[in-house]
């Protein structure tokens, strides 16, 4: 009998495999490097957004079709916060820039988290266990949220320019690597690290991992998993807000519909990853990000289809996603 904790390593190889596959198709290594970093950055941002959603689903069987509203909210809040920090964003100093961007992120997370609390209480909680109504109601919540954003910030596109010091690229030989994208990868890695550490090393993480498998038993052991769930929902919304800020800076503008647009992407990601798995979401997000950037360069017309094709390919291999959660369903 195998006594080691064997880690399922095959899905982990998918990311480098895709990158290597793209190299001959792209041609020049320096372009490849630029695209890869861009893809990883985009993937990391998508992961930040998707991580909360997949945990919420894994734990409580609740799928929030309105998750996009927190993304948009975070992005718009950032426009307001950064708007009043003109001197710091105009400065060339990266430190000053970060001193502006960090508070924007924090405020965005707080606002998104607070709205998440209300969303859970008034929209999600009344329809526990009823999947059909959940889909409809969370969609309705997103519509209302999007309209409210338009009320507060207006219906038009708002530019969200990168602070001066974060613009531009570093040059490594022939390859130009955008500074902001590197930052995105760093932030994403930090978030993943934090999530992974929490899940593996803290008792709360233990509760989450156990709750995803057998919610009833966790309650029978005396834990109020409902409270935990609300916490995760709020954390997931806050993370989506953070992702929204980063996505907005990545695109350098924000529109009220951005929530609905990114929604599709994150659904693809968590389907690929397996509903309930954080590592799966990371892999899915990185694959989607890389795919979008590689196909955008090699065959632009196929770009959006490429994600669907990727999803179909993965589902044919593993119908429940790359890391199906061993749940009692």
Partner 1 sequence: MNLLELQGVHTHIGAYHILHGVDLAVPKGRLTMLLGRNGAGKTTTLRTVMGLWKVAQGRVAFAGKEIGGLATPQIADLGIAYVPETMGIFADLTVKENMLLAARAARRAQDMDEARLKWIFRLFPAVEKFWNHPAGKLSGGQKQMLAVSRAIVEPRELLIVDEPSKGLAPAIINNMIDAFAELKASGVTILLVEQNIHFAQRLGDTVAVMDNGRVVHAGTMADFSADAQLQQRLLGLSL
Partner 2 sequence: MLRRLLSNDLPRSKVLAVLLIAVLLGLAFAPFVFPGVKALNVAAKILVFIVLVASFDLLLGYTGIVSFAHTMFFGIGAYGIAIAATRMGAGWDAVAVGLACSLAVSLVLALAIGLFSLRVRAIFFAMITLAVASAFQTLASQLSEFTGGEDGLSFRLPEIISPSFEFSEEPFLGVSLDGRLLCYYLLFVVAVVLVLALLRIVNSPFGRVLQAIRENEFRAEAIGYRVVVYRTLSAVLSALFATLAGAMLALWLRYNGPDTSLSFEIMIDVLLIVVIGGMGTVYGAAIGAVLFVVAQSYLQDLLRLGNEAVSGLPWLAALLSPDRWLLWLGLLFVLSVYYFPTGIVGKLRARSSAR
- The residue ranges that bind partner 2 (CB under 8 A) are 57, 63, 65, 123, 126-127, 131-133, 135-137, 139-141, 143-144, 147-148, 150-152, 155, 260, 263-264, 267-268, 271, 275, 301, 304-305, 307-308, 311, 319
| Token reading at 18 | 């895709």
Which of partner 1, partner 2, none binds 214 (CB below 5-8 Å, type-dependent)?
A: partner 1
Q: Which is nearer to partner 1, 161 or 324 (CB)?
A: 324
Q: How far is the CB of 169 from partner 1 (least distance, A)?
A: 42
Q: Which is nearer to partner 1, 177 or 206 (CB)?
A: 206
Question: Is 316 a binder of partner 1 (CB under 8 A)?
Answer: no
Q: Which is nearer to partner 2, 45 or 310 (CB)?
A: 310
Q: How far is the CB of 255 from partner 1 (least distance, A)?
A: 41
Considering only the stretches 8-16, 28-36, 117-125, 214-222, report the one whose residues sit in contact with partner 1 under the rule CB under 8 A: 214-222
Number of residues that bind partner 1 (CB under 8 A): 22
Task: State which of residues 213, 253, 257, 306 lies at the interface with partner 1 (CB under 8 A).
Answer: 213
Q: Which is nearer to partner 1, 245 or 281 (CB)?
A: 281
3-state secondary structure the chain: CCCCCCCCCHHHHHHHHHHHHHHHHHCCHHHHHHHHHHHHHHHHHHHHHHHHHHHHHHHHCCCCCCCHHHHHHHHHHHHHHHHCCHHHHHCCCHHHHHHHHHHHHHHHHHHHHHHHHHHHHHHHHHHCCCHHHHHHHHHHHHHHHHHHHHHHHCCCCEECCCCHHHCCEEEECCEEEEHHHHHHHHHHHHHHHHHHHHHHHCHHHHHHHHHHHCHHHHHHCCCCHHHHHHHHHHHHHHHHHHHHHHHHHHHCEECCCHHHHHHHHHHHHHHHHCCCCHHHHHHHHHHHHHHHHHHHHHCHHHHHHHHHHHHHHHHHHCCCCCCCCCCCC
Cβ-count burial 95-105 (b if 16+ within 10 Å, e if not) = ebbbebbebbb
Tell me which residue has tokens 């209480």: 121
Q: Which is nearer to partner 2, 150 or 179 (CB)?
A: 150
| Token reading at 133 | 């109504």
Q: How far is the CB of 311 from partner 2 (least distance, A)?
A: 7
Task: State which of residues 130, 147, 224, 312 lies at the interface with partner 1 (CB under 8 A).
Answer: 224
Q: Which is nearer to partner 2, 29 or 126 (CB)?
A: 126
Within residues 178-207, the interface with partner 1 by CB under 8 A covers 203, 206-207
Q: Which is nearer to partner 1, 203 or 301 (CB)?
A: 203
Question: Is 329 a binder of partner 1 (CB under 8 A)?
Answer: no
Question: Is 129 a binder of partner 1 (CB under 8 A)?
Answer: no
Q: Which residues bind partner 1 (CB under 8 A)?
A: 1-3, 5, 203, 206-207, 209-210, 213-214, 216-225, 326
């Amino acid at each position: 009998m195998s006594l080691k904790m064997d880690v399922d390593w095959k899905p982990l190889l998918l990311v480098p495999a895709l990158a290597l596959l793209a190299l001959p198709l792209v041609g020049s290594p320096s372009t490849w490097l630029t695209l890869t970093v861009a893809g990883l950055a985009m993937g990391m941002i998508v992961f930040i957004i998707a991580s909360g959603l997949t945990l919420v689903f894994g734990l409580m069987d609740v799928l929030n079709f309105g998750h996009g509203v927190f993304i948009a909210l975070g992005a718009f809040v950032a426009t307001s916060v950064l708007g009043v920090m003109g001197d710091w964003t105009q400065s060339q100093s990266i430190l000053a820039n970060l001193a502006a961007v960090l508070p924007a992120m924090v405020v965005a997370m707080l606002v998104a988290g607070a709205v998440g609390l209300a969303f859970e209480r008034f929209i999600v909680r009344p329809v526990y266990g009823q999947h059909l109504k959940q889909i409809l109601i969370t969609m309705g919540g997103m519509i209302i949220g999007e309209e409210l954003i338009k009320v507060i910030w207006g219906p038009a596109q708002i530019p969200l320019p990168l602070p001066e010091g974060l613009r531009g690229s570093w040059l490594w030989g022939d390859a130009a690597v955008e500074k902001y994208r590197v930052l995105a990868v760093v932030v994403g890695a930090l978030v993943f690290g934090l999530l992974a550490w929490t899940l593996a090393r803290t008792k709360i993480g233990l509760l989450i991992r156990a709750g995803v498998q057998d919610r009833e038993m966790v309650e029978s052991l005396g834990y109020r998993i409902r409270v935990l769930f609300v916490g995760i929902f709020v954390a997931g919304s806050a993370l989506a807000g953070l992702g929204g800020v980063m996505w907005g800076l990545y695109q350098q503008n924000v529109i009220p519909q951005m929530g609905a647009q990114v929604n599709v992407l994150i659904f693809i990601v968590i389907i690929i990853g397996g509903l309930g798995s954080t590592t799966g979401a990371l892999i899915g997000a990185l694959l989607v990000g890389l795919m979008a950037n590689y196909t955008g360069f090699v065959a632009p017309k196929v770009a959006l289809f490429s994600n669907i094709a990727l999803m179909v390919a993965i589902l044919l291999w593993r119908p429940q996603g790359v890391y199906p959660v061993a749940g009692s369903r």
